């Protein structure tokens, strides 16, 4: 009964998140209205699920038997923990793998560049896995190998950054497009529709493209007076973002706001702004819900305007989904006995007013 209750809770969370994600994607106007609220329901539900759903994947009778003996083999390919968010994703994936070790042989690899990640996936394929999870470092280089996995009939979960193909069974990620919309509304309203804005992009991926598209489309429609004066490349990390921001600051004597596509990048931008003595001139927004970013928001630091939530619990969820697919099972409490093709977690707006609702002092991220 306890396992049933926990699975029910997880499904309820996913349904809530899916509904919120759909609502956010409807129109820019709908998201503008939602951005004025303090949506903490999803965050609280996800946190509750992370505590309650620390359980083995299922006790239901599998519809598919392991290909390699008594245990199901699952390969998980992730980026190296080059920032705290990815480190938290990896840890959550490892936690779920440890919980499932009696029934599953789960191998988790990490890579610091796309070529190494492609090689990792090829090595995992040699194990003849029952299912796989791929979190691409970059979308384009990982697309061909992901397509190969899918074409070989291996159930495939794509995690977070997406690939340039529809060759997967399930895609689990945050609502990057809605996060870009929310950022444009936040900056546009705070600047009364007029100002000079810097964009700090992330590594080439579907995530970056969607966060850029949501922002730009909303800016063009609602806040055409916002001028994009420079774009930098932050690589989801503090140091590259800091160096890029240093160059932008030198070239631009007036900046009103920085839209950074990642909290780690935002912290790097803020370090450069403070070093230049220009902290009274502008504000920065982020993406993720990084603990250090939340602490700055809770302290009402004028440089950090807002962040947009991106749950790192996706790592554990992806491993759980892969385990279900390996056994030929779906989510037990849905009428449709299958795994959803896409699960989207909402990109709630986090400001100084509601940051405490998202803050966990014990969180790795």
How sure is the predictor about 19, in pLDDT bands with cuts at 50, 70 and 90?
very low
Examine residue 29 and state whether it is found in any structural domain, yes or no. no
Examine residue 159 and state whether it is found in any structural domain, yes or no. no
Examine residue 233 and state whether it is found in any structural domain, yes or no. yes
Tokens standing for residue 137: 């470092």
Examine residue 158 and state whether it is found in any structural domain, yes or no. no
How sure is the predictor about 82, in pLDDT bands with cuts at 50, 70 and 90?
confident
30-44, 57-71, 148-162, 196-210: which has the minimum mean pLDDT?
Answer: 30-44
How sure is the predictor about 29, in pLDDT bands with cuts at 50, 70 and 90?
very low
Exposure b/e, 37-57, CB count within 10 A at least 16 = b:
eebeebbebbbebbebbebbb
Q: Which long-range contacts (CB under 8 A, 24 or more apart) does 22-28 make?
A: 22/344, 24/175, 24/178, 24/181, 24/182, 24/346, 24/347, 25/175, 25/177, 25/178, 25/344, 28/181, 28/217, 28/218, 28/221, 28/222
Q: Are 59 and 3 in contact (CB under 8 A)?
A: yes
Q: What residue numbers bound the domain in which 287 lies? A: 176-308
59-68, 136-145, 172-181, 218-227: which has the minimum mean pLDDT?
Answer: 59-68
- CATH for 205: 3.40.50.2300
Residues 6+ apart with CB under 8 A from 205: 136, 138, 139, 161, 162
The distance of Cα 242 from the centroid of its chain, to the nearest Å, equals 22
* Rounded Cα–Cα distance for residues 123 and 185 (Å): 45
Examine residue 88 and state whether it is found in any structural domain, yes or no. no
Examine residue 59 and state whether it is found in any structural domain, yes or no. no
Q: Are 287 and 307 in contact (CB under 8 A)?
A: yes
The distance of Cα 47 from the centroid of its chain, to the nearest Å, equals 15
Q: Are 109 and 90 in contact (CB under 8 A)?
A: no
Residues 6+ apart with CB under 8 A from 284: 257, 258, 260, 266, 269, 270, 273, 303, 304, 305
Tokens standing for residue 256: 């009103």
Average pLDDT estimate for 293-318: 95
| Count of structural domains, the chain | 1
Average pLDDT estimate for 67-72: 92
CA angle 177, 155, 109 (to 5 degrees): 80
Examine residue 55 and state whether it is found in any structural domain, yes or no. no
Examine residue 89 and state whether it is found in any structural domain, yes or no. no
């Amino acid at each position: 009964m306890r396992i049933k209750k926990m699975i029910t809770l997880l499904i309820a969370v996913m349904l809530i998140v899916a509904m919120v994600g759909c609502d956010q994607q409807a129109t820019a106007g709908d998201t503008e209205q939602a951005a004025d609220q303090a949506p903490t329901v999803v965050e609280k539900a996800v946190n509750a699920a992370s505590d309650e759903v620390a359980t083995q994947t299922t006790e239901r009778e599998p519809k598919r038997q392991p290909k390699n003996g008594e245990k199901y083999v699952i390969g998980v390919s992730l980026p190296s923990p080059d920032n705290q968010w990815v480190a938290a994703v990896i840890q959550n994936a490892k936690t779920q793998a440890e919980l499932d070790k009696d029934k599953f042989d789960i191998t988790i690899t990490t890579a610091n560049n796309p070529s190494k990640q492609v090689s990792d996936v090829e090595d995992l394929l040699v194990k003849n896995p029952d299912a796989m999870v791929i979190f691409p470092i970059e979308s384009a280089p990982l697309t061909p190998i992901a397509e190969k996995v899918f074409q070989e009939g291996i159930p495939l979960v794509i995690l977070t950054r997406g690939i340039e193909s529809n060759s997967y069974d399930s895609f689990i990620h945050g609502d990057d497009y809605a996060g870009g919309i929310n950022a444009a509304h936040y900056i546009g309203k705070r600047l009364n529709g007029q100002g000079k804005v810097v964009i700090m992009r992330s590594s080439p991926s579907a995530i970056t493209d969607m966060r850029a598209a949501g922002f730009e489309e909303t800016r063009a429609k609602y806040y055409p007076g916002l001028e994009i004066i420079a774009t930098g490349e932050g690589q989801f990390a503090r140091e590259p973002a800091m160096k890029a921001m240093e160059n932008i600051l030198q070239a631009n004597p007036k900046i009103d706001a920085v839209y950074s596509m990642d909290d780690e990048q935002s912290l790097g931008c803020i370090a450069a702004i403070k070093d230049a003595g220009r902290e009274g001139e502008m504000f920065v927004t982020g993406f993720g819900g990084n603990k250090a970013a939340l602490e700055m928001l809770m302290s009402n630091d004028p440089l950090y305007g807002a962040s947009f939530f991106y749950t790192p619990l996706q790592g554990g969820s992806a491993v759980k989904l892969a385990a279900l697919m390996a056994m030929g099972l779906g989510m037990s409490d849905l009428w449709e006995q299958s795994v959803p093709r896409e699960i989207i977690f909402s990109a709630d707006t986090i400001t100084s007013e509601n940051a405490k609702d998202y803050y966990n002092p014990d969180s790795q991220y």
